[in-house]
Amino acid sequence: MSNKLKVAFICVHNSCRSQIAEALCKHLAVDIFDSYSAGTETKPQINQDAVRIMKELYGIDMEKTQYSKLIDEIPPVDIVVTMGCNVKCPYLPCKHKEDWGLDDPTGKNDEEYKKVIKVIETKIIELKDRQNIIMKS
């Protein structure tokens, strides 16, 4: 049984931003967090541009270990991070919740994906740095 904090990255379709966040959190903070992503709807596959760019930037193949899933398919979590859904973000009970307000890069060019990925990376590092404060509050 892990005593790591469980963090869920949530957006509506669980195909792009939340998948990137799950992969980067596993990559950058596996010692602190058990990472999950989910949505209120699913897509048949993870956004292929996101998959390609994550391989290019980090050597991470998201399709090996991740898939689009619904919020009732993940375990109870300590921290919920919503990605910035333009529609109503799904609700999930937790000890701490924050919204990262990220634009969806789907359908845009690689530079837009890379910008969003960089913001997610920075925010995960910040979340890792703040985790003790978050869980004490």
pTM of the entire predicted model: 0.94
Q: For residue 35, what are the β-bridge partners?
A: 7
User: What is the rounded radius of gyration, in angstroms, for the C-alpha atoms of the chain?
Assistant: 14
Any domain includes 71: yes
Domain hosting 33: range is 5-132
Q: How confident is the model at residue 72 (pLDDT cuts 50, 70, 90)?
A: very high
- Are 8 and 80 spatial neighbours (Cβ–Cβ below 8 Å)? yes
In angstroms, rounded to a whole number, what is the distance separating the alpha carbons of residues 82 and 7?
A: 11
Residue 30's pLDDT is what? 95
Q: Is residue 72 part of a domain?
A: yes
Looking at residue 92, its pLDDT comes to 82
User: Has residue 137 been placed in a domain?
Assistant: no
